[in-house]
Amino acid sequence: MQMNWFGINCIRQALRRPIVRFSLMLMVSSACATTCLSAAEDGLAVKGNMQQGSSTIIVDRLVATVNNQPITQSEILWQIALDPAGPTGPPQPALYSAVLHQLIDLKLLDQEAEKLPANEITDADIDRYSDTLMKQFPSEAEFRKRLAPVGLTNEIMRERVRHRLEILHFIDFRFRAFVIVTPQEIEQYYQKIFVPSAREKGQVVPPLDQVSRAIERDLADQKVAGEMTTWFEEARRRSDIVVLYEP
């Protein structure tokens, strides 16, 4: 399943597209987080601040935990809403499951990113990224229309964008900084892949010097994706991942 919001295949697309950390809709305290996790057997997240004598209010479904950090159903709905190619109605079980496992991978990335010194993300950075994301939709009105039904407010959206940018910095630091593409690799790709593909499509084949930078980026992306695939496999093995609800 190809979406621009990440399983392993989605992460590969994410090397050029936005990446988001799907933060919880419930801004719970550490005490409330413990309460949420204790409700895991029921698959529910509970509201943290309740008046004395009031009954528990169910506000979200706890669908998984990754090293004791929760993933909620709202996060799945947000992820789907922010995909221009995603459905506007309730997700089918296959899509729900795919997005859940994408979020698990993102949570693993996010947990590693938090171990590094924080990069300063400015309001201007968030504005630029939000504008780029919005332009993937037919219009701003359509973009807002997708967010409203799943409770994705502007404040939550900006926080998500900030975390997305932090993960992008982590990917650059952890993976891309160590990638080297040689001139020989660029030449080989041009002769064996780029030229035959262009001719098959009936396109005029540009000289190598006009496309070498683009080929270099493609090859770098492939190498980063390969490194990330290996990293995800190892991260899953050493992590405590519990799926509590999957249709």
66: Cβ contacts below 8 Å, ≥ 6 apart: 104, 107, 108, 111, 239, 240, 241
Can you give the pTM of this predicted structure?
Answer: 0.72
| CATH 2.160.20.10 for domain 8-179 | no
Nearest by Cα to 208 from 237, 178, 186, 193: 186
Q: What pLDDT, on a 0 to 100 scale, did the predictor assign at position 160?
A: 84
Q: What is the pLDDT of residue 164?
A: 85
Total residues found in the chain within this entry: 247
* Model pLDDT, residue 2: 37
Count of CA atoms in the C-beta half-sphere (13 A) of 25: 19
Pure H helices in the chain: 8-14, 30-38, 73-81, 93-113, 123-134, 140-147, 154-174, 183-189, 195-200, 208-238
DSSP, residue by residue, 10-53: HHHHHTTS-------SS---HHHHHHHHHTGGGT-EE-S---TT
Residue 153, SS3 per DSSP: coil
Q: HSE on the CB side for 176, CA within 13 Å?
A: 17
Q: Give residue 90's pLDDT.
A: 87
- Collect the ranges in the chain with pLDDT lower than 70: 1-58
Partner residues linked to 66 by β-bridges? 69, 241
Give first-to-last CA distance, the chain, whole Å: 16
